[in-house]
A and B are shown apart, each in its own frame.
Chain A
Amino acid sequence: MNLTMHELAVIEGIIETMTEVAAANRLSRISRLDLVIGKMHQLVPDMLEFSFETCTQGTVAEKCKLVIDWRPVIVTCRDCSNRSEIIDSIFICPHCGSFRLNTESGKELYIKSITGE
């Protein structure tokens, strides 16, 4: 499947996993998919929903409910050790002004769980 558009490229990975899990667990229908997505990924929620709905038609996950836990971008400063949430992509420590930041959260992109029967 050659998919264009950013959201579709991500959906391709999800559908592959759902199909494998359904086969391994003999699920005839997947009713719910829980995803964890960090806000660093430039994924538009509406496009993701739309792509998901479109691509799951005719599969074991057709009409599956998509639940997304969006994670904020949190960094730890290597200079003052404070943790902060990054807003508006300004990656400067609000406490000490350092650029030296470790990203603790915001880059997640994983399937938390699949519900089916």
Chain B
Amino acid sequence: MDIVLMKNVLDRNQNKADENRLRLSERGILMINIISSPGAGKTSLLEKTLAHFSGILKIAVIEGDIATDRDARRLQPYNSQIIQINTEGGCHLDSHSIAKAFEHLDLDKLQLIIVENVGNLVCPAEFDLGENHKIAVISVPEGDDKPVKYPLLFRESSAIILNKTDLIPYTNFSLEQFRNYVRELNGSIPVMEISCTTGSGLSVWFDWIRAQIKEKGVPA
């Protein structure tokens, strides 16, 4: 018997992601999914972001890690709702675990949800969580050709953050080459060159967030 299906393999995840997206849209909440290799600086970026917007924006963080709550604990001092998801071996977050995380958040009190995905440049790009934007974070020590090796993520992202720019003098990272590679992959998205350590360039990231909030018409 031949059964013709034409069924999306990731249907189950996609359906829940669409549900998540609708749910947030109805409440005017923006969701950002931050994706990077382990150690690129996602948590540091979140520390700076939460500190900057403290008292200004109502933000919650959904923190994805294979194990431990170390990252969630780093974010505790910043006065935001933090939910830690441990995937226990799973290499990416999926829309079902995000939906479960929503149950622990007071959605009526939120304007922005930031998801810090599991450190991985491959699988998270495939699994829609229901976010408005994917942000790819790469760091200088990973090499300037990193984007070319991960085309799907860099195509799907709304913006790219290059972190640890303070380390450029100590590596053979070529900013020009990196910008060329990114331009070839996705020439129409912003590239933000920052250092969480020195604070350099962070204002561009904060302004980007403000612009998305404004564009989405997120209620105050």
Contacts and interface: CB of A to CB of B under 8 A. Distances in A.
Contacts of A14: 9
Contacts of B5: 17, 21, 110-114
Contacts of B155: 40, 91, 103
Interface size class of A (residues with CB under 8 A): 20 to 34
Contacts of B89: 2, 4
B9 A2 contact: no
Contacts of B7: 17, 110-111
Contacts, number: 97
Contacts of B188: 99-100
Given A10-B9, A10-B126, A42-B122, A99 B183 contact: yes
B43 interface: no
Contacts of B152: 40-42
A9 B126 contact: yes
Contact of A13 (B10, B88, B184, B185): B10
A99 B187 contact: yes
Interface string A97-110: 00110010000011
Interface of A: 2-6, 9-10, 13-14, 16-17, 21, 25, 27, 35, 40-42, 89-92, 99-100, 103, 109-117
Given A2-B87, A9-B92, A89-B185, 9 more contacts: A13-B11, A21-B3, A41-B152, A91-B184, A92-B187, A111-B9, A112-B5, A112-B6, A115-B3
